[in-house]
Structure 1
Amino acid sequence: MSVKIRQLEIENVKRVKAVTLTPTENGLTVIGGRNGQGKTSVLDAIAWALGGDKLRPSDAQRRESVIPPRIHIELSNGLIVERKGKSSALHVIDPTGQKAGQRLLDSFIEKLALNLPKFMQASNKEKADTLLKIIGIGDELAGLERQEQSLYNQRLEIGRIADRKRKHVEEMEYYPDAPDEPVSAADLIRRQQDILARNGENQRKRDQLATMLKDKSRVEEKIAELQAQLAQYTGQAETLAANIETAQKTVAELQDEGTAELEASIANIDAINVKVRANADKVRAQQEADELSGQYNDLSAQIDGVRKARLNLLEKAQMPLAGLSVNDGELTYQGQKWDCMSGAEQLKVSTAIIRCLNPECGFVLMDKLEQMDPETLAAFGKWLEGEGLQVIATHVGTDDTCSIIIEDGYIKEDRPQEVPQSAPKAEMPKWTPGTF
């Protein structure tokens, strides 16, 4: 059962002269009044009494009074907390009558419940860290966020490199008429020499034919002249005739190959190879750009996976308030960051988180509740009742939303509040100045 404030009595603290208050057990107790009448002084007195001397106001004693401050608070767990005397020393008495001290109070009272502005003025990251501490997934979520940031940085760098590669590819020349491989001058010269050799052989055969024809003519003349030697040269003539016939057939089939294309290739070999290398560089650059694009897409998929894991982790976490979450290391409520929340939403979020920091502390002190309109204030009060949480708050004004009105350090008006029947409100005793 969380601890609530059952009754409090305050005298001569800051602007308060004498105030007795019995707060509503569950829900809102709104202290109204004009500025400078002592509303915030009531909250400061409670914070000082329960939170220790670190929360003591710098000018605690009411300036017009010669009587030192006195604070008397009764808690729902039976403890009685007092500060009185010149030194305003702390006295804590438990139900058995035994004395205790600040250490006992610290065991069940959440310091931020006494100092809500400290939480509300913290950075967005500090608020988020507080929430993650409550739901117990801070370390795991931080690990996922570091992993996501690392993957994001890798993807960003690869994306930049891929963009540069693609731009470089677009600027590079490409020659569609160039061969796929660089041309070798030695190979072209060798091919040229092979052709010249074959052509030389052809010429040799032509020359050989011409010689044979000459020999035949000379032999025929010899035959004509030397009929007597006909028998001797007849065989030779027949042989030559056969050879001539064979040679003629071979020569008729011969075709010389042109070297003009190779000569042009040899002459332009450097220009051709420049194009070949340019084409190869462009193809290689395109392949690298495509590979980097693939890596970029892979990292994007990994980042999406980490983000889904982080969202699943937050969705499964038991949040102190529906709609609370942490996005990019910042606290959010209903999808809105802290600076985009209304003042009423900020108060509700702060109250829910602070309550969960120490569930044994069942109350929160809240200043400047006038930023809530009456409808929002009523809804806030209903939510507090459902949560079993007690809030003692101040409100600049004297409208019907106020539970009590303070004027010039005293309670001017006490207004009855609706209290759940399960927790009936005790009758508020009338205050007599100077009596504790």
Structure 2
Amino acid sequence: MKIIKFRAENFQKLKVVEITPDDNVVTIAGKCEQGKTTILDAIHAALGGGKMPEQPIRTGEKKASVVVDLGEMIVTRTFTPSGTALKIENKDGFKASKPQDLLDKIVGKLAFDPLEFARSDSKKQVEMLLSVVDLQVDPAKLQKISGVVVDKVDENPLTTLNNVYAEVMENRKLTNRQLDSAKKVLASLPEVSEIKAVSVSELVAEKDKLQKVIRSNNDKRADIEKQQQFLAEKEKQRDNVAKEIEELEKQLAAKREQLTIMTQVVIKTNQELGRMQADVAKLIDPDLTAINTKIANADKTNKQAQQYIDRQAKQAELDKYQAESDDYTKKLKSITDYKAEIVSKTKFPVPGLDFANGGVTYEKLPFKQASGSQTLKVSTAIGMALNPKLRVMLIDGAESLDSKQMAIISEMASSEDYQLWLTRVSEDEKVGIYIEGGEIKK
């Protein structure tokens, strides 16, 4: 849908101007302050809705009107001191009951100036490009690959992607700080072999047990010594008695009886001594060298065992942080890859467009670095994408475009079947539709 006829009467600087376009490019030329831009303003006022001009009526007149014939419908907007009225009808007599609502659905972003995209900042360029492309972000998939809870996708899908990426990046930064700390602690610990800790109390108890055995054995040895002394004494007594028998025959009977008794005692004592000696011969004194060495080295052993445990714990902590850091790195790559996948499936107005670092890129470079021709081509293509129904674009001040740039937008308007209305300051009355004093000069 394009403008097939335009008429404005008493609108701002215009007296009566009627234009019937016969080409894709409608050039409105003239000197400054003659009403060229007013024609574009009139199209805005008729079709755009929203805020109206403060003084739409030409000075000295009581009423103004703008009529735009779009082929399928005719839009008429009138202005009086009391306000403005809008009427939409077609050639069959149909009249819209809610003309502005109908117009809003058709017009879209008619007022888009192709050069506005190039003049906008990065944030605005992203918003404009997002309004013409369908960037689909699956929140469930994004949450799965990032580990970040994604309840919904923002109106600007790039904001969601960037926020998730930033959160994963912050998580990785925190983990990396913990990882660096763990590395420093681990590096400060000595290298030790694995060794089991010992219980000093258990070792002392074991030593006490062994010493008790020794004491018992020594007691038995002492008993033998006592028995031997006792035996020696009795033997001496026996010998004395024998001598006394020889010497004292008179006391023989008594002495023999005493001898018999002592002999029996000697026999029994000797037997007991033999049994005790046999038992003692079997005794083995435990060696205290090993247990004493263990007790002496217990502190050193336990210190080494604790060092091993501490180092293993720090190694485990380091491995944990390293694994977390690696996982965040993988998630960041997954988000980047997912964003690239989304962009690759997105149909852009011009091949080579993309989103990166919070802005728009063209041919992998920031759009601000594009050449003048590339800038104009991309901006115009986006302007056309913003106006799919009413295929009209407006450029004020086209004299700033060189011949190459004019050729580019003219070719695009022709190939895409868009209508381009532009103004140009010129004193050559043969250039386009020449305006002078608010009228078309023949």
TM-score > 0.5, shorter chain as reference: yes
Which residue, out of 29, 40, 48, partners 1:51?
A: 48
Alpha-carbon distance between aligned partners in 2 of 1:353 and 1:99, rounded to the nearest angstrom: 33
Q: Equivalences for 1:251-262 in 2 at 5 Å?
A: 255-257=287-289, 260-262=292-294
Deviations 1:269-306 (A, max 9, x none): 8xx76775565344323312312321332233234334
Which residue, out of 203, 214, 220, partners 1:188?
A: 203
Q: Find the counterpart in structure 2 of residue 289 from structure 1.
A: 318
Alpha-carbon distance between aligned partners in 2 of 1:377 and 1:150, rounded to the nearest angstrom: 43
Q: Find the counterpart in structure 1 of residue 177 from structure 2.
A: 163
Which residue, out of 392, 396, 403, partners 1:367?
A: 396
Tell whether the 8 Å contact from 1:13 to 1:61 is kept in structure 2 after alignment: yes
Asked whether 1:31 is paired with 2:10, we answer: no
Q: Find the counterpart in structure 2 of residue 384 from structure 1.
A: 413
Query: How far has the Cα of 1:4 moved from its partner?
Result: 0.9
Alpha-carbon distance between aligned partners in 1 of 2:136 and 2:429, rounded to the nearest angstrom: 43
C-alpha change, 1:115 and 1:299, in structure 2 (3 Å) is same
Deviations 1:195-232 (A, max 9, x none): 32233244345545655665676677678778888986
Alpha-carbon distance between aligned partners in 1 of 2:302 and 2:426, rounded to the nearest angstrom: 90
Query: How far has the Cα of 1:363 moved from its partner?
Result: 0.8
SS of equivalent residue, structure 2 residue 107: coil
Which residue, out of 170, 189, 196, partners 1:174?
A: 189
Tell whether the 8 Å contact from 1:326 to 1:332 is kept in structure 2 after alignment: yes
Q: Find the counterpart in structure 2 of residue 75 from structure 1.
A: 70
Alpha-carbon distance between aligned partners in 1 of 2:33 and 2:376, rounded to the nearest angstrom: 23
C-alpha change, 1:97 and 1:254, in structure 2 (3 Å) is closer
Deviations 1:77-100 (A, max 9, x none): 363646477777545452235555
Amino acid at match of 2:21: P
Query: How far has the Cα of 1:109 moved from its partner?
Result: 1.8
Query: How far has the Cα of 1:367 moved from its partner?
Result: 2.4
Using structure 1 for the length normalisation, give the TM-score: 0.70
Identity %: 23
C-alpha change, 1:160 and 1:103, in structure 2 (3 Å) is closer
Answer with 54-63 or 222-231: which moved more.
222-231
C-alpha change, 1:258 and 1:275, in structure 2 (3 Å) is closer
Alpha-carbon distance between aligned partners in 1 of 2:430 and 2:268, rounded to the nearest angstrom: 147
Which residue, out of 60, 64, 87, partners 2:56?
A: 60
Q: Equivalences for 1:225-240 in 2 at 5 Å?
A: 240=273
Q: Find the counterpart in structure 1 of residue 104 from structure 2.
A: 106
Alpha-carbon distance between aligned partners in 1 of 2:210 and 2:428, rounded to the nearest angstrom: 114
Alpha-carbon distance between aligned partners in 2 of 1:321 and 1:390, rounded to the nearest angstrom: 19
Answer with 160-169 or 119-128: which moved more.
119-128
Uncovered stretches (5+) of structure 1, i.e. residues with no partner: 413-429, 431-436
Tell whether the 8 Å contact from 1:195 to 1:257 is kept in structure 2 after alignment: no
Amino acid at match of 1:6: I
Query: How far has the Cα of 1:365 moved from its partner?
Result: 1.4
Q: Find the counterpart in structure 1 of residue 38 from structure 2.
A: 41
Alpha-carbon distance between aligned partners in 1 of 2:211 and 2:415, rounded to the nearest angstrom: 107
Amino acid at match of 1:190: A
SS of equivalent residue, structure 1 residue 114: coil
Uncovered stretches (5+) of structure 2, i.e. residues with no partner: 140-152, 243-258
Answer with 322-331 or 210-219: which moved more.
210-219
Query: How far has the Cα of 1:9 moved from its partner?
Result: 3.8
Alpha-carbon distance between aligned partners in 2 of 1:35 and 1:5, rounded to the nearest angstrom: 25
C-alpha change, 1:188 and 1:406, in structure 2 (3 Å) is farther
Q: Find the counterpart in structure 2 of residue 312 from structure 1.
A: 341
C-alpha change, 1:108 and 1:301, in structure 2 (3 Å) is same
Q: Find the counterpart in structure 1 of residue 250 from structure 2.
A: none
Could you say which structure has the larger radius of gyration?
2
Alpha-carbon distance between aligned partners in 2 of 1:402 and 1:274, rounded to the nearest angstrom: 98
Provide the alpha-carbon RMSD of the alignment: 4.6
Tell whether the 8 Å contact from 1:7 to 1:23 is kept in structure 2 after alignment: yes
Alpha-carbon distance between aligned partners in 1 of 2:192 and 2:235, rounded to the nearest angstrom: 60
